[in-house]
């Protein structure tokens, strides 16, 4: 009960902007609900019969970022939202997310082998600061994470909820990166349904607005850069290789790395059996290779941490066992806020873009979250390789 009350207190403090100084995006970006308003504005455009990618900031909302998703979310979520005032719709999203989180905790209970295991496995859902930032921004990654969790639950229990994966690319197209474990376990129906749903829900729109194809495809450019809100490996590499050492052809070297780690992850996926660890590798891979990894994106690891505890931890003391220390350290690095608030020690005049500060601080700042990802990836790799192959 204490953990639940603490969770609710943190949510209230975050939505009231009291905790904003803990986060780059809550301190240096446009404002609360800015990402949510992108979908609201897209829904407003769709209701008028205009392009959902038309960026007319300030028309339907006080501010927003450009809409970047497939058009489905603008029509199915965006249009209904427009029947409420922008901020009223945002607070409805907060309530929906809290209800969805409670349902995730319920599924965690059903998966847990004991009540003690359940108590530990619920912590990644209830005490995870990227979720607070997700709420503040009004983002959609938690919706994706929750549906992915239900899909993996379906894989583990052989239930039809695994087919929920079919809608994940409609929420965020990068969800397709998590498809290989379905292929490994011969879930061809799930994959066929996913492709069919994407085509049926997207092709008609792009036939009506063919010029929007180029706008949407900007999501998949091979741009390589670093900024204070980016907590991916690619951003850390860009800062070191480009900003500090002026390495020639930086994008080419990172492409080689992407191909190498992608091939290795595919090998591990198809050689070994463990469903949860396979999904863990692919979710970690997203943070290692994607160009725009915002701090709120780390909510994708909430179901992963919870599932690993459900399926591999039977006693709280096991988390402190030597073999599981990388896992426990990974959780702490990712669940806690970044080093952003420490900026004030280097910047007495107030918060500013972190990348302009001392290089040692910038490297540490960009390293904490991705170090947690690398620990989790290599720990999962070792656990997989300890198991029997087919």
Q: pLDDT (tens digit, 9 = 90+) per residue, 210-227?
A: 999 999 998 887 778 888
pLDDT > 90? residue 1: no
pLDDT in tens, 31-77: 999 999 999 999 999 999 999 999 988 899 999 999 999 999 999 99
What is the domain extent for residue 332? 2-30+84-385
pLDDT surpasses 70 at 6: yes
The reply to whether 57 falls in a domain is no
User: Which range among 118-132, 197-211, 235-249 shows the weakest confidence by mean pLDDT?
Assistant: 235-249
Q: Does 229 map to a domain?
A: yes
Distances in Å between the Cα of 82 and the Cα atoms of 38, 75, 94, 171, 316 are: 12, 11, 16, 18, 46
Residue 74 DSSP code: I
Determine the pLDDT at residue 266. Answer: 96
Q: Which residue has the higher pLDDT, 126 or 273?
A: 126
Cβ atoms of 230 and 224 within 8 Å: the answer is no
3-state secondary structure at position 230: strand
* Residue partners of 46: CB distance under 8 A and separation at least 6: 52, 71, 74, 75, 78, 79
Does 76 map to a domain? no
pLDDT at res. 213: 95
Q: pLDDT tens-digit profile of 168-204?
A: 999 999 999 999 999 999 999 999 999 999 999 999 9
Question: Which pLDDT value is given to residue 237?
Answer: 95
Give a yes or no: residue 260 inside a domain: yes
Classify burial at 237, counting beta carbons within 10 Å of its beta carbon; exposed 0-12, middle 13-18, buried 19 or more.
buried
Q: How confident is the model at residue 390 (pLDDT cuts 50, 70, 90)?
A: very low
Statement: residue 389 has pLDDT above 70: no
Q: Please check whether residue 288 lies inside any domain of the structure.
A: yes
Asked, for residue 316, whether it belongs to a domain, the answer is yes
- Contacts of residue 143, defined as CB under 8 A and 6 or more positions apart, other chains included, come to 97, 100, 171
Q: Does 75 map to a domain?
A: no
Any idea what DSSP says for residue 336?
A: S
| Average per-residue pLDDT for the chain | 93
Q: What is the pLDDT of residues 272-327, one digit of tens each?
A: 989 999 999 999 999 999 999 999 999 999 999 999 999 998 888 888 888 999 99
Tokens 């780390």 locate to 298
In this prediction, residue 345 carries a pLDDT of 65
User: Tell me, what's the pLDDT at 225?
Assistant: 83
The share of the chain scoring above pLDDT 70, in percent, equals 97
Domain count, the chain: 1
Which pLDDT does position 349 carry in this prediction?
61
- pLDDT confidence of residue 111: 95
Say if 58 falls within a structural domain: no
Average pLDDT of the residues in 107-111: 96
- Model confidence at 145, in pLDDT bands (50, 70, 90)? very high
Region 113-129: what's the mean pLDDT?
Answer: 95
């Amino acid at each position: 009960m204490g953990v639940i009350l603490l969770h609710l207190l943190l949510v209230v403090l975050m939505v009231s902007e009291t905790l904003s100084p803990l986060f780059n995006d809550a301190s240096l970006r446009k404002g609360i609900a800015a990402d949510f308003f992108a979908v609201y504005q897209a829904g407003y455009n769709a209701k008028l019969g205009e392009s959902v990618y038309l960026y007319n900031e300030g028309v339907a909302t006080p501010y927003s970022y450009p809409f970047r998703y497939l058009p489905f979310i603008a029509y199915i979520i965006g249009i209904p939202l427009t029947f409420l005032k922008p901020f009223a719709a945002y607070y409805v999203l907060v309530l929906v997310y809290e209800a969805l989180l409670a349902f995730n905790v319920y599924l965690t209970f059903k998966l847990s082998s004991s009540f003690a295991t359940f108590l530990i496995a619920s912590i990644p859902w209830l005490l995870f600061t990227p979720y607070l930032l997700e709420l503040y921004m009004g983002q959609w990654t938690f919706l994706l994470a929750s549906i992915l969790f239900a899909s993996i639950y379906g894989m583990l229990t052989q239930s039809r909820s695994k087919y929920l994966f079919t809608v994940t690319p409609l929420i965020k197209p990068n969800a397709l990166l998590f498809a290989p474990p379905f292929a490994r376990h011969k879930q061809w129906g799930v994959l066929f349904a996913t492709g069919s749903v994407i085509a049926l829900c997207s092709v008609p729109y792009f036939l009506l607005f063919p010029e929007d194809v180029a706008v949407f495809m900007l999501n998949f450019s091979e741009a390589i850069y670093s900024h204070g809100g980016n907590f991916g490996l690619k951003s850390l590499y860009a800062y070191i290789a480009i900003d500090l050492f002026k390495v020639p052809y930086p994008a080419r070297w990172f492409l080689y790395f992407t191909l190498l780690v992608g091939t290795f992850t595919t090998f591990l996926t198809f050689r070994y059996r463990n469903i949860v660890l396979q999904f863990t590798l692919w979710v970690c891979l997203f943070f290692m290779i994607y160009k725009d990894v915002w701090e709120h994106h780390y909510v994708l690891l909430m179901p992963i941490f919870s599932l690993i505890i459900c399926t591999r931890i039977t006693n709280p003391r096991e988390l402190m066992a030597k073999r599981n220390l990388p896992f426990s350290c990974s959780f702490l690095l990712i669940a806690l806020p970044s080093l952003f608030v420490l900026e004030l020690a280097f910047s007495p005049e107030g918060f500013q873009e972190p990348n302009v500060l001392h290089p040692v601080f910038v490297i540490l700042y960009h390293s904490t979250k991705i170090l947690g990802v690398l620990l989790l990836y290599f720990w999962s790799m070792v656990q997989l390789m300890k198991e029997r192959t087919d």
